[in-house]
Structure 1
Amino acid sequence: MILYKPCHLLNCSDKKLGYSNSNLFTVTTSPPSIKNLKREEQQQKMEWGLISISILGLGICWVLNLVVRSMNSWKYEYKLGEKRHKLPPGDLGFPFIGNMWSFLRAFKSAHPDSFLNSFFTRFGKTGVYKAFMFGNPSVIVTTPEACRKVLNDDQHFKPGWPLATVELIGRKSFVSISYEEHKRLRRITSSPINGHEALTEYIGYIEEIVITTLAKWSRMGEIEFLTQVRKLTFRIIMYIFLSSESEPIMEALEREYSTLNYGVRAMAINLPGFAYHKALKARKRLVAVFQSVIDERRTLKRDGVAIKAKKDMMDALLEVEDDNGRKLTDEEIIDLLVMYLNAGHESSGHTIMWATVLLQNNPEFLQKAKVEQEEVVKKRPAEQKGLTLKEIRQMTYLSQVIDETLRWVTFSLVVFREAISDVKINGYTIPQGWKVLVWFRTCHLDPETWPEPMKFNPSRWDSLVPRAGTFLPFGSGSRLCPGNDLAKLEIAIFLHYFLLNYRLERVNPDCPVQYLPHKRPKDNCLGRVIRI
């Protein structure tokens, strides 16, 4: 029912408003025209049509997504026959890229653990998950027991690094050679960098470099602390392997290694502008440099020219023979150098930087570590000028600081193996030929083993003996990192002199952290080293 109010009460004839009573009455009482009704009906049909098309489009997208996401499963799982029902839970992702987009998105964000957390949420905490990573069907292992089994079982697992990584590090490096080759080369190359005699020989050189470098930094003002520490550790490893102390050569090589490392964990796209393409070019330049050093050493030796009294790793690699009298080829020597010089400075440099930052952020732990170093100096005989290996091995709390930093940082995110035959882990089958990713980060940040895992707390180690597989900073098994003792020695010597004489004042203490290729502040820890 429509109620009409008399127009004279509405004052509808107000001339100021520009309309009359009769006009208003005509508008409000005229019925809707047939034309308007048809227009509204057509509009409703169009709206329903658009809704139907949208629903249909979403349905098609859902079906296409389901089909596309199933392509990897059809390709890699169905050919396994009945064994496919015993695969771990998981998701092989999209064709070609697999789960790499999710991985890179997570590790380029502030929440890298969101990648594996998505597996935990969808499939439960089974400890093993199928995925498609770095171009291969893979199984990710995340529990200490599973990780330890894979790393220590040379009968069922061999190195399984992606082909793209092998192309960068080298086909004759430790990442790709067989168990027997690895055993032989490890024995040859570990003697100059491990053991009491070798470590004692390097203490004096490392001390001298650390002392002079810290003094230099304190006069430089604002520096990228991480960049400078990496240069320091690279200088040390260059001296041990090549007896080189040339600043221009070291800086040029260190830049090439930085480019190489960005490509190791990038998608393997060999096109100009992409990180992997740049990394391949960096490797070519590194190979050219090392080849020229080999040629020069061989020429000098042939001509009977004595170049130095001290033998370095290059001399050892050129002279060593196996049981059949076979010497190493140039390719083998170069690939070993590429690998050792990279691993020998990157991990030590990042660990030193983070240990320094974490101690500065925790005054209680800083003071405790500093007091221990002061006690070392007080107990030293008057005639003794520098550190000894015995003193370093007695630095109990500093050792805890280093171990806690290694756990907290987890420099090596993952290592790769390949199943030689079908293997059962946690009740699931890992098929022959599938890659296995040993995920160190989950072992080091497991709250059941490490209460408040994201908290830096060296004192947690006071009475702690880590359960097997829960602490793997240098790997495990026959392929344990051969340079772990040298790395810890470098870190301990640096922290000893830094704690006694310097402090770090960061420009951006709240700077965001990036996780690829390694965990670091985005500003490379910009700050000032101040003498105290």
Structure 2
Amino acid sequence: MEFASSVSSASFLILVALMALAWLLKHANWYLYETQLDEEQRRSLPPGDLGWPFIGNMWSFLRAFKSSDPDSFMSSFINRFGRTGIYKAFMFGSPSVIVTMPEPCRRVLTDDEKFEPGWPVATEELIGKKSFVGISYEEHKRLRRLTAAPVNGHEALSLYIGYIEENVISALDKWSKMGQIEFLTQLRKLTFRIIMHIFLSSESEPVMEALEREYTTLNHGVRAMAINLPGFAYHKALKARKKLVAIFQSIVEERRNQKETKVYAKKDMMDALLEVEDKNGRKLNDEEIIDMLLMYLNAGHESSGHVTMWATIFLQENQEFLQKAKEEQEEIVKKRPPAQKGLTLKEFRQMEYLSKVIDETLRLITFSLVVFRKAKSDVRINGYTIPQGWKVLVWFRTVHLDPEIYPNPKKFDPSRWDGYTPKAGSFLPFGAGSRLCPGNDLAKLEIAIFLHHFLLNYRLERLNPECATRYLPHARPIDNCLARVRPLSSPSA
């Protein structure tokens, strides 16, 4: 009897101890971060949950985005705390505030006095502290002016339209003869060739293949937890970055030697980065040049490749929209003067319906689901306080899939853009404010040129049309869109 009583007492004490431990763990982040604030700050924090020590809400995030329902992550906040549009959380190693409504998103992205970049450790380490994700506002302004010129604006687009079209025509013809291909993989190679030409005047197949292979590994670590242990995505990505830096270092050294011996006459982004000086005459060092190249070459091919794939898939799955887009392209060709060879920028700007197709794809896919800022001082938004030093996650995906802004938001429907001008902060495929993606015009041009030739001459036959979608680091079919590209004159196999 006494033994049973002792066991019962011990079991009770263990249960109490476990409950106490669970309470302490559950409230550890609250103690570490919220108790450091004054009473007024604590009282005006957004609703939310800082989760467990160290990992915070990351397991919930990763679990959702590795499932078939990535939006369940934000839905859990909305269901528990209401549609406030702003929530506290612990993400990527930092106390954070997530914003999910247009006006707060616009405010965070455009107010450079109150907010600065706040990317996670993994992103800064992998993309580079000397790239746009890590440099100061003033340095960003200076380098953006320099580096945006070759990839945006009328002159730049006119310069590259012929090169892009030539490569698109060649690629589609090649793919149609290859049989079964990973459509996404081939598109990424195509867009990488284009960005390599713009930045490095290079078409070296071995160099491009080596770089593109390492970028694939790098991207799987950019949104991962910064755990530098074998088997983790971040550990593999760090190795990929090291290889990329080594390749870029050799390219930089070779270009410097060419310029010194005056055997190189072309002008590209590499030349601009080597020559630029600040007001004190200081030039960029190798680390700064390499980080800028690493960032631009990554951003310049990943988004274009993925969005082009999804636009092609959506059109192929929706024959009504495909036919309407095709008729527009046929009309453009029909009006072309007999002596004209190839697309012009004027024709690109006449592609009104295709532009809606691209915007709808950008909205539905939301290639970059979130960007990161950090509060420079306490900031009040929607009646809530974002404490100084806390990260701010602008959650594009929730904005783009908000049924109050876009009815039936998960349906691909280019006609929703007929006569519709989105309010500020409600359509953010390239961000907003001073750090708006500098390559947005080039990306849209690449996608439009590809779709122009695809619609006129080819169709896509997916081999696994029902295969699942993977959402990290970017949304893609798990088979990379295994398919055949068929000439329109070719009957189905």
Q: 1:500 to 1:432 in 2, by over 3 A?
A: same
SS at match of 1:281: helix
Q: Distance in 1 between matches of 2:423 and 2:164?
A: 33
Superposed CA deviations along residues 139-165 of structure 1, whole A, max 9, x for unmatched, are 011111110000000010000111221
Q: Distance in 2 between matches of 1:117 and 1:60?
A: 33
Shift of 1:59: 5.1
Q: 1:515 to 1:51 in 2, by over 3 A?
A: farther
Q: Which residue matches 2:366?
A: 410
Q: Distance in 2 between matches of 1:294 and 1:181?
A: 21
Q: Which residue matches 1:279?
A: 237
Pairing 1:216–2:174 present: yes
Pairing 1:325–2:276 present: no
Q: Distance in 1 between matches of 2:7 and 2:177?
A: 70
SS at match of 1:132: strand
Shift of 1:61: 3.6
Q: Which residue matches 2:491?
A: none
Normalization by structure 2: what TM-score?
A: 0.96
Q: Distance in 1 between matches of 2:126 and 2:334?
A: 48
Shift of 1:322: 2.1
Shift of 1:325: 1.7
Q: Do the aligned residues in 1 keep the contact of 2:122 with 2:221 (CA within 8 Å)?
A: no
Unaligned runs of 5+ in 2: 489-493
Q: Distance in 1 between matches of 2:125 and 2:118?
A: 13
Aligned 1:147-186 pairs, distance under 5 A: 147-186=105-144
Shift of 1:115: 0.8
Q: Which residue matches 1:6?
A: none
User: What residue identity is the alignment partner of 2:33?
Assistant: Y
Pairing 1:237–2:190 present: no
Superposed CA deviations along residues 147-193 of structure 1, whole A, max 9, x for unmatched, are 00000000100001112210101111111111111000000101111
User: What residue identity is the alignment partner of 2:140?
Assistant: H
Q: 1:422 to 1:367 in 2, by over 3 A?
A: same
Q: Which residue matches 2:376?
A: 420
Question: Runs of 4+ in structure 1 displaced over 4 angstroms?
Answer: 48-60
Q: Distance in 1 between matches of 2:245 and 2:463?
A: 38
For residue 383 of structure 1, the aligned residue among 311, 328, 339 is 339
Matched-pair identity in %:
74
Superposed CA deviations along residues 427-451 of structure 1, whole A, max 9, x for unmatched, are 0100000000000001100101100
For residue 63 of structure 1, the aligned residue among 14, 17, 20 is 20
Unaligned runs of 5+ in 1: 1-41
Superposed CA deviations along residues 385-434 of structure 1, whole A, max 9, x for unmatched, are 10000000110000000000000000001000000000001101000000
Q: Which residue matches 1:91?
A: 49
Q: Distance in 2 between matches of 1:481 and 1:188?
A: 14
Q: Which residue matches 1:255?
A: 213
For residue 71 of structure 2, the aligned residue among 113, 123, 142 is 113
Bigger CA radius of gyration: 1
Q: Distance in 1 between matches of 2:126 and 2:437?
A: 19
For residue 364 of structure 1, the aligned residue among 296, 308, 320 is 320
Q: Which residue matches 1:29?
A: none
Shift of 1:367: 0.4
User: What residue identity is the alignment partner of 1:513?
Assistant: T
SS at match of 1:137: strand
Q: Which residue matches 2:257?
A: 299
Q: Distance in 2 between matches of 1:318 and 1:475?
A: 28
Shift of 1:54: 7.2
User: What residue identity is the alignment partner of 1:479?
Assistant: R
Aligned 1:489-528 pairs, distance under 5 A: 489-528=445-484
Pairing 1:77–2:34 present: yes
> How many residues were matched structurally?
486
Q: Do the aligned residues in 1 keep the contact of 2:184 with 2:481 (CA within 8 Å)?
A: yes
Q: Which residue matches 2:403?
A: 447
User: What residue identity is the alignment partner of 2:238?
Assistant: L
Shift of 1:327: 1.2
Pairing 1:480–2:464 present: no
Q: Distance in 2 between matches of 1:164 and 1:364?
A: 43
Q: Distance in 2 between matches of 1:57 and 1:530?
A: 67
Q: Which residue matches 1:205?
A: 163
RMSD over aligned CA atoms reads 1.6
Superposed CA deviations along residues 196-230 of structure 1, whole A, max 9, x for unmatched, are 11100101100100001000000000000001100
Q: Distance in 2 between matches of 1:57 and 1:391?
A: 75
Q: 1:206 to 1:51 in 2, by over 3 A?
A: farther
Pairing 1:467–2:423 present: yes
Q: 1:459 to 1:51 in 2, by over 3 A?
A: farther
Shift of 1:319: 1.2
Pairing 1:437–2:393 present: yes
Q: Distance in 1 between matches of 2:420 and 2:282?
A: 47
Shift of 1:63: 3.2
Normalization by structure 1: what TM-score?
A: 0.89
User: What residue identity is the alignment partner of 1:71?
Assistant: A
Shift of 1:53: 7.6
Q: Distance in 1 between matches of 2:390 and 2:204?
A: 45
Shift of 1:467: 0.9
Q: Distance in 1 between matches of 2:13 and 2:479?
A: 48
Q: Do the aligned residues in 1 keep the contact of 2:121 with 2:226 (CA within 8 Å)?
A: no
User: What residue identity is the alignment partner of 2:331?
Assistant: E
Q: Which residue matches 2:99?
A: 141
SS at match of 2:70: coil
User: What residue identity is the alignment partner of 2:135?
Assistant: I
Q: Which residue matches 1:38?
A: none
Shift of 1:459: 0.7
Q: Which residue matches 1:33?
A: none
User: What residue identity is the alignment partner of 1:245?
Assistant: E
